[in-house]
Amino acid sequence: MMTSLPSPGAQPGSSLVAIRGLSVRYEERQVLNRVDFTLQRGQSVLVVGASGSGKSTLAMVVAGLIPESVEAEIEGTIDRDPVLDKPGRVGYIFQDPESQFCQLTVGQEIAFGLENMRVDRSQMDPRIADALQAAHLAVSPSAYDLTLSGGMKQKLAIAAALAQNPEVVVFDEPTANLDPQGTAEVFHEIRRLQDSGRTLLVIEHKFLAFVDLLPQVVLIDRRGTVRAGGPTRQVMDEQWPWLVQEGLVPAWWKGISGAWGQPAALEALAAAHRPPEAPEAARPDLFEARGLRFAYGKRKAPQEVLHGLDFRIGAGEKLVIVGPNGSGKSTLLSLLAGLSKPSAGEMTRPVAREGMPVPVVLGFQNPEHQFVYERVADELADGYVGDEMPAKVAALLKQFGLEGYESHSPFSLSQGQKRRLAVAVMVKDDHLAYILDEPTFGQDARTQEAIVTQLEALNEQGRTVVITTHDMELAARFASRVMVLIAGDIAFDGPPEELFANTPLMERAHLLPESSPPFAQPAGEVAPDPATRGWSRFAEVSAAQKRSWMGQLNPSFKLIATMLAMGIAMFAANIPQAVALAALPLILLWVGAKLTPGQIAKRMAPFVIFFILYTWTLTAYSRVGPHTPVFYFLWYRLSWTGLDNGLVLAFRMLASVAFGVLFVSTTDLTDLIVSLSQNLQVSPRFSYGSLAGIRVFPLFEDEWRKIRQARQLRGKEGRFRMARIVTYALPLLSQAIRMGERVSIAMEARGFKGAAAQDPKARTYYREIPVCWGDGVYILAICAVSVAILVLIR
Amino acid sequence: MQQQPSMQWKLRDIVVTAVLATACGAIYLGWDLLYKFVPGGVSPVLTAGFNGLWWIAAGIVPYIVRKPGAAVLAESIGGFVEFALGSPYGIQAFTMGIAQGLGVEAGFALGRYRRYRLPMMLFATAMGGVGNYIYSYFYYGVKDYTALTQVGYLVVTLISGAVFSGLLSKWIGDALKRTGVLRNFAIGRQAQNLS
């Protein structure tokens, strides 16, 4: 690309970033190689390249995240306009909607960036409202962001960036994890930003949507060098053969001007891939569902995901299941695979036979969930193999392009390699049916092609293949039959051409790229994320307790008071003192926190067994004086002194538990974290950083469930071995670490660095957590009452 | 090239500390409940064998991030999460966590935060047992036990810490390192400098 001379001033056309001869290397891996690149004010650039070519690296250099937040070795010159170094001057929307937030609610999330910029608190609410409107996100600022759909999360990321009024907005594959509806919503926002004259840098797999929108393009090849750059349409036309060869567009796309994703094109594609004659009608049924229902959370409020489905799947079918996110596709797959049991209705499946491979296998959306072993070769052999590679394993390595990786950890592979390995593990044994949840998700065209070819080959041998996908071209090409699920009901079941001819249905099922009016929220149809179920008990304080007198106290001071009370309680020496100390928090729970006696009893109940345990342990093991009577029972030496000691301890522990319940029932987690910095001068890096880490927790629950299921399916569940426990934890922990790392980069991208992150006084706060005289009185009163109990009761 | 590892906390160290400590906090809660099924007070010496897992966050986090304060920070967060999720120990789950973290911290501090090989891992996590013992001495009535029971309680607690929090942490940490996700953390960088 041509470099223009930098000109001073802020007029459009002046250079914001000028990069010359840039090479970037992460340890042993070279990602960018002598790249020249210029970003001018008001100009929008599309970046296209294969995965691993260094597109994100280039974007992070532009945003100033490399080398500051992400360590890398850099050669060449980077000339950035100094204005970009201030917090929030570059908005960055990352690929993974789950790991770019660090707060709990929508409003806090947007405010986080404003706090870093030291925006005055009084201006925050209006700016949050404006940003939500600008990003077309019609949710309340107090909504928990974990409850949003993927597309809404990406819009929240856009809103958070826009609130900071950035010079440049970077989109780093923002739709890679979204369904067509979410993708359309994000594309719509990109289009509007471009129209409003923002400077944009867009990295996008589905780049053809932007050919006429973003005027400039840069193509990067697999070695990390710039292949071409210039006016988008012209460069793409010239480089079409290269795009195909690089695996960036499927070989069967004929050129840039195809109307991809539109019904007519899909219909033609489906027709072209139909077998010449209709398949014979008499096929034995492999699966049969009658009135199939499934609900989560069975006891109190069952959340029905599937509402009475009837269908059959015959041997040798290629069934593609499509529909919006949250419509029940994955649930249906897990019922087909036998991992879940229907809550009502019937599901007939092929039965397992002794000594034979399981008849049905399921490939998870995230290939990592499937890995059981620590080495690729063990994974393929389904057991520990030494240095001697069995012939079958060697053949699989070759077939799936994994040669040379046999002793690597499956988790260290690239996305494409992981997916190929997961497929290899599935197909190495002969099964009747192969079920795959979004097998081409997040893969480049080359890997997609390899996977589709493999599935076609299985099908030609008479095997049944069932997949879900958001990719309509894949459905058109692959399916012998398509099933559309909308909100837990079958909206369509038939040949693909018929579906693609039915535009209203396509629209209703969010299957068209342009189907969504921008303001429509699919909230009514989106089942709540399973991850949010565990969340509520952790972060939410009910309104009555929040309004109560205890709920109004400053969280940090309340915590200090609680710890002081515990310290004083240590000196309780007799039962009346200990009972009085335990009564104190119980009375506060009732009077101060407005909990009913029933609620208090319920929250304290789990402690009963511990109460007995403490009493017993000391009764049996206390040191006693020389003249104390003791009773021998089995090998125990019981004493009244011991019982006395035990009861004192048990009541002291009761006080500890009650004080704990008092704290948790009246304190909001975010308030506590913010208070640590605002009132106790804890460095925001530590307080906000901890919150961001704790926030990842609810996602564990969901991941854990998936890993357990994957193991059940491979017959790796249930055998107790320490080594297994460690490997069991690996997918979970490695995912958690990667998320933590991405979250911290996202936080820094929003200006959480330098003084804003280190000095509690160098940032503003969206929530004011006041300290008032009441907090001091509370601490003094708690201490005074505790001491008085010790002094007065003898 | 031998390069001194940085003692400065980066944001990613803090966030990942919190992520891992939170996971440990959930494990602690499970352990609290499991502990209920230990035959009621067989002997404090035997049940002390359980103790060591309650500060695994103070083993695994310092092993990965290798920064001053890692053990205390990890245990504070882990203990707080255990407490907030409804531990039957109440607020003591949090304060005890800090005490255990301080013990392990003292161990790593003796190695000036540069040693993280197996002997140090075992020693430092055993030190967590000292924190546990001192706290239990005052709060959980250990001071009322007979002298012999007290000594037994201390020794078993130290061993339990070294095995559950030391050995297990190193095992998990090394396995995680092989997956490649720890490349940007001290554990990944130091390994390279050594080779």
Contacts of B192 in chain A (CB under 8 A): 27
Q: How many CA atoms lie within 13 A of A194 on its CB side?
A: 21
Q: A756 to chain B nearest CA, in Å? A: 12
pLDDT at residue number A530: 43
Mean pLDDT of chain A: 83
Confidence label for A276 from pLDDT (cuts 50, 70 and 90): low
Q: Tell me which chain B residues have a C-beta less than 8 angstroms from the C-beta of A657.
A: 88-91
Tokens representing residue A479 in the block: 């399916």
| Whole-number pLDDT of residue A725 | 58
**Residue A649: its chain B contacts at CB < 8 A?**
140-141
What string of H, E and C letters represents the secondary structure of A601-627? HHHHHHHHHHHHHHHHHHHHHECCCCC
d(C-alpha A749, C-alpha A100), whole Å? 10
- The model's pLDDT over A22-54, given as tens digits with 9 standing for 90+, comes to 999 887 778 899 999 999 998 899 999 887 788
> A659 touching B, CB under 8 A?
yes
Work out the average pLDDT over A415-437: 86
Smallest CA–CA distance, residue B12 to chain A, in Å, is 5
Q: Is the pLDDT of residue A176 over 90?
A: no
Say if the Cβ atoms of B41 and A613 lie within 8 Å: yes
Run of H or E including A686? helix A684-695
For residue B86, list chain A residues with Cβ-Cβ distance below 8 A.
603, 606, 664
Q: Is the pLDDT of residue B147 over 70?
A: yes
SS3 per-residue string spanning A341-355: CCCEEEEECCCCCCC
Most confident of A104-118, A132-146, A603-617: A104-118
pLDDT single digits (tens) A334-393: 899 888 888 889 888 888 777 777 888 888 877 887 887 778 888 888 877 777 788 888
User: Chain B neighbours among A 64-83 (CB < 8 Å)?
Assistant: 69-71
Higher pLDDT pick, A712 / A564: A564
Q: Buried (b) or exposed (e) across A647-664, using 16+ Cβ within 10 A?
A: bbbbbbbbbbbbbbbbbb
pLDDT for residue A780: 96
- A156 close to A131: Cβ distance less than 8 angstroms: no
Residue B119, min C-alpha distance to chain A (Å)? 21
In this prediction the pTM is 0.84
| Residue A1 in this model has a pLDDT that exceeds 60 | no
Of all residues in chain A, the one with the smallest CA distance to B169 is A726
Highest mean pLDDT among A690-704, B44-58, B111-125: B111-125
Note which residues in 82-121 of chain A have CB less than 8 A from chain B: none
Distance (Å, whole) CA A668 – CA A539: 6
Contacts of B178 in chain A (CB under 8 A): 374, 409, 412
B148, B37 Cβ separation under 8 angstroms:
no
A220 or A375, greater pLDDT:
A220
Compute the distance between CA of residue A205 and CA of residue A49 in angstroms, rounded to an integer. 8
Residue B61 CA to residue A581 CA, distance in Å, equals: 36
Q: In the predicted model, what is the mean pLDDT of residues A306-331?
A: 87
pLDDT score for A514: 55
CA distances from B87 to A323, A479, A552 (A): 42, 51, 24
Interface of A with B in 746-775 (CB under 8 A): 747-748, 752-753, 757
- The DSSP code for A509 is T
According to the model, what pLDDT value does residue A226 have?
A: 92
Contact A653 B11 (CB under 8 A): no
**For residue A792, which amino acid is it?**
L
Looking at the complex, report in whole angstroms how far the Cα of residue A759 sits from the nearest Cα belonging to chain B: 14
Q: By CB neighbour count within 10 A (0-12 exposed, 13-18 middle, 19+ buried), where does A143 fall?
A: middle
pLDDT tier, A300 (very low <50, low <70, confident <90, very high otherwise): low
Q: Which 366-405 residues of chain A touch chain B by CB within 8 A? A: 374
pLDDT value at position A259? 54
Residue A532 has pLDDT above 50, yes or no: no
> Whose CA is closest to A619, among A591, A650, A589?
A650
ipTM of the complex: 0.93
Phi first, then psi, for residue A179 (nearest 5°) are: -80, 170
Using CA coordinates, name the residue in chain A closest to B141: A649
User: Residue A625's pLDDT is what?
Assistant: 64
Q: What is the mean pLDDT of residues A156-165?
A: 94
Phi, psi dihedral angles at B125 (to 5 degrees): -70, -30
Minimum Cα–Cα distance from A742: chain B residue: B12
Q: What is the pLDDT of residues A741-793, one digit of tens each?
A: 999 999 999 999 889 999 999 999 999 999 999 999 999 999 999 999 999 98
CB atoms within 10 A of CB A553: 23
Contact between chains at B141 and A745 (C-beta distance less than 8 A): no
Question: What is the bridge-based pairing of β-strands A464-468 and A433-437?
Answer: parallel
> What is the pLDDT at residue A31?
87
**How many alpha carbons fall within 13 Å on the CB side of residue A113?**
30
Q: Indicate the residue of B16, B85, B171 with minimum beta-carbon distance to A741.
A: B16
Report pLDDT digits (tens) over A498-514. Answer: 888 888 888 888 777 65
Between residues A22 and B40, which one has the greater pLDDT? A22
Q: Do A622 and B23 touch (CB under 8 A)?
A: no
Interface of B with A in 105-144 (CB under 8 A): 138-141, 144
Chain A residues closer than 8 Å to B141 by CB: 614, 617-618, 622, 645-646, 649
Predicted pLDDT of residue A515: 44
Interatomic CA distance for residues A744 and A741, integer angstroms: 5
More confident residue, A370 or A78: A78
pLDDT, tens digit, for every residue of A436-491?
Answer: 988 887 677 777 888 888 899 999 988 999 999 888 888 888 899 999 998 889 99
Output the pLDDT for position A513: 65
Tell me the percentage of chain B whose pLDDT exceeds 90: 59
Contact A727 B175 (CB under 8 A): yes
Nearest to B11 among A603, A616, A685 (CB): A685
pLDDT in tens, A714-748: 665 544 444 555 556 777 888 889 889 999 999 99
Range B61-87 average pLDDT: 93
B-proximal residues of A, 603-632, CB under 8 Å: 603, 606-607, 609-610, 612-614, 616-618, 620-623
Q: Which pLDDT value is given to residue B179?
A: 81
Whether chain B has a CB inside 8 Å of the CB on A646: the answer is yes
Q: Is the pLDDT of residue A526 over 60?
A: no
pLDDT, position A130 = 93
Q: What is the pLDDT of residue A609?
A: 80
Average pLDDT over residues A86-104: 89
Can you give the pLDDT at residue A603? Answer: 84
The answer for A 231-270 residues in CB contact with B (under 8 A) is none
CB–CB of A730 and B179 under 8 A? yes
Give A 427-446 residues with CB within 8 A of chain B: none
- State percent of chain B over pLDDT 70: 91
Contact B144 A642 (CB under 8 A): yes
Q: Is any Cβ of chain B less than 8 angstroms from the Cβ of A643? A: no
Note whether B11 contacts A660, CB cutoff 8 Å.
no
Share of chain A above pLDDT 90, in %: 32
Residue with tokens 């055998």: A719
CB-based contact A610 B12, cutoff 8 Å:
no
